[in-house]
Amino acid sequence: MSISSINYSSSVLGAQIRNINQQLTDLSTQLATGKLSQNYSGMGANEGFAIAGRSQLSNIAAYTDTITNVNVNINLANTALQSLTTIRNTVQTGSASTAQDLNVNGQTVAQNTAASQFGSMVGVLNTQSGNRYLFSGTAFNTQSVANAGDIINGTTTQAGFKTVMAERQAADLGANGMGRLVQTQPTPSSARVSEDVAGSPFGMKIAAVSSTLTGATVTGPSGSPVSFSVDLNGLNPNDGDKLSVQFTLPDGTTGQVDLTASSATPTPIGSFAIDATTPGNTATNLNTALNTAITKLANTSLVAASAITAGDNFFNTASSAIGAPVNNQAAPPAPISGATALSGASPSNSISPGFAAGDTITVNGTTLTFVNSGATGNQLNVGDSIQTLMSKIDQITGTSKPSTVHGGSITINTDDAASLNITTSNTGALNALGFGSTPVTATQPPLRVGSSPASSATTLVNGSANTVKWYTGNDGPGSPRSTAMARVDDSVTVQYGAQANEDAIRQQLQAIAVFGTFSTSPTSQYAGGQVSALSLRVTQSLTKQPGQQHIEDIQTDLAMAQNTMKDAGTRQTQAKAQLQSIIDQAESASPDQVASELLSLQNALQASYQVTSKLAQLSLVKFL
């Protein structure tokens, strides 16, 4: 008979002791780390919840980092915008002051301040957060705005704003300094004033004429180019009789000349002398006074309006399509107006040929259909006015600057020159509106005087090839805010982009550039009037107007993004606490329970060792 060896290490009891030892080691680790296990397999059935919770916590951590970074960008942008507001207020206060003392350079102290503030504003608009330009839209790696010196003075190959403004002033004033108006005396008793070229974008446009001159005949304004005439018919007006002529200036404002007949000596300012013995001399005096008044208006208000318009030509990204001047059916010498109908039987006030039922005009992909009557939605009645058509087009393009018709020429404005596209099924009727080819597209800015010498130019042309581009960031359609987006929660995104060419920013930069760049001759008799007229316009440009975007609107948008992130952060903080609780419940070991189990195992282990010790004393003799 053989007797198997009694070996402690291979006995069942030994295995039990090793198991208890391992349990003691595990419990000691749990007590030290607070975790049920150091690997997933030992965590138990609830570890799946913990893994999912840990994944969500990781996402929240990423969202928290995103919110922190976005808040940095927004805070920097808001600081920049607040600086722009301060600059605006500084320049506006200066432009509104009554001090018009000119230095040797033909500028006031307020204008010098504006020139300095322009440089500051350019610096603010080129603010960076890390390597990101905050006002470049999606082109965040690109400087937002060209250097201030280049914008104003140009480079060796490209003209700056100063050149554009000087060209525009020469084109608006004309060679005779009368705002592109031509004055003649057809008969000894009459005076006639006309625009030099039909449809020209330059100079003053005759808008209206009224008269209380006794015995006089007033004709116009009418014709192409537009003109008016006053014939005293060999008679003298009475004291106090008045002639008033209203002009439209390039910036859309109006200027007016009022001349009063007077027999007083000396003749008061704003009057013309009545020659009681020779009525022909009265007509000559009227012509002289009219010439003087028009020249003064041209060299004061027109010059200021020209500077403002030059700013628009250079800075404003809103563009336009300009039709050639055309006449209406009722009176061929009379140009079309907003009231002219889109169709009508001669001699009605309508275009010819006109639109018919079933014709279409397609604007940026949206089709307008003509019907005989009862138009709704994207429909037009064949007898509707040109103004109605322009309003429909403006609704589709979403332009911030309404389209206009003046002097028989239609101007369709758009905020996005690249997108404007107008076609029609009736090209003859579109031609009658002044648009000789299809599709109708917009002229791209910047706009420059089209020929030399500028004083006789009749067109504005695309100057992008030889003119400094002041805004160098993203220039595509769409909301500037959408150019920078971030996901800050599983289903929440915020938009926080900004562009230096947004209306509120561009209008401010434009106004300050105009005010700080314009200069005049300190010795000119018109210098004070020019600066005064310009100061008024700049003050108005820097004043917040209803319906226009303001710097504060951009700040509000960014504040809303921050509030959205704050709300998301609050929810995430709450979620983190809940998720951490789930993880802790799944993975954490209770110290009390572990201690209790350790004590129990220690007692079991002690008892096992005692039994083992006794068994270990067995010998072959005792066994037998």
List pLDDT tens digits, range 476-496. 667 899 889 999 998 899 999
pLDDT of 381 reads 95
pLDDT surpasses 60 at 592: no
Pick the closest to residue 432 from 356, 320, 319, 318 (CA basis).
Answer: 356
Pick from 439, 404, 408, 395: which is nearest to 421 by CA? 439
Q: What is the DSSP code string of 380-445? A: EETT-BHHHHHHHHHHHHT-SS--EEETTEEEEEES-TTT--EEES-HHHHHHTT--SSSB-PBPS
Stretch 65-70: mean pLDDT, rounded?
Answer: 93
| 81, 480 Cβ separation under 8 angstroms | no
The predicted model gives 374-379 an average pLDDT of 93
The helix-helix angle for 503-517 and 161-173 (nearest 10°) equals 70
Question: Omega of the bond prior to 333 within 30 degrees of 0, cis?
Answer: no
pLDDT confidence of residue 408: 81
pLDDT band per the 50, 70, 90 thresholds, residue 401: confident
Q: Which of 26-30, 55-59, 257-261 has the lowest mean pLDDT?
A: 26-30
Parallel, antiparallel or unpaired: strands 217-222 and 254-262: unpaired
Digit-coded pLDDT (tens) for 250-282? 999 999 999 999 999 999 999 999 999 999 999
What pLDDT, on the 0 to 100 scale, is given for residue 199? 85
Amino acid 8: pLDDT: 47
Mean pLDDT value of segment 506-521: 96
Look at residue 420 and tell me whether its pLDDT is greater than 70. yes
C-beta separation of 500 from 160 below 8 A: no
Q: What is the mean pLDDT of the chain?
A: 86
Percent of the chain past pLDDT 70, that is, above it, reads: 82
Q: What is the pLDDT of residue 395?
A: 92
Give me Rg for the CA atoms of the chain.
Answer: 41
What stretches of 148-262 adopt beta strand conformation (E)? 181-184, 190-195, 205-211, 217-222, 227-231, 242-248, 254-262
Percent of the chain beyond pLDDT 90? 64
Quote the tokens at residue 538.
């700049």
CB 588 within 8 A of CB 35: yes
Q: For 455-475, what is each residue's pLDDT tens digit?
A: 999 999 889 899 999 999 987
DSSP run (H or E) holding 129: strand 128-129
Alpha helices in 34-46 (DSSP H): none
The one-character DSSP state at 252 is S
Confidence of residue 48 (pLDDT cuts 50, 70, 90): low
Helix (H) / strand (E) containing 283: helix 279-297
Cα atoms in the Cβ-side hemisphere of radius 13 Å centred on 382: 16
> 405, 390 in Cβ contact below 8 A?
yes
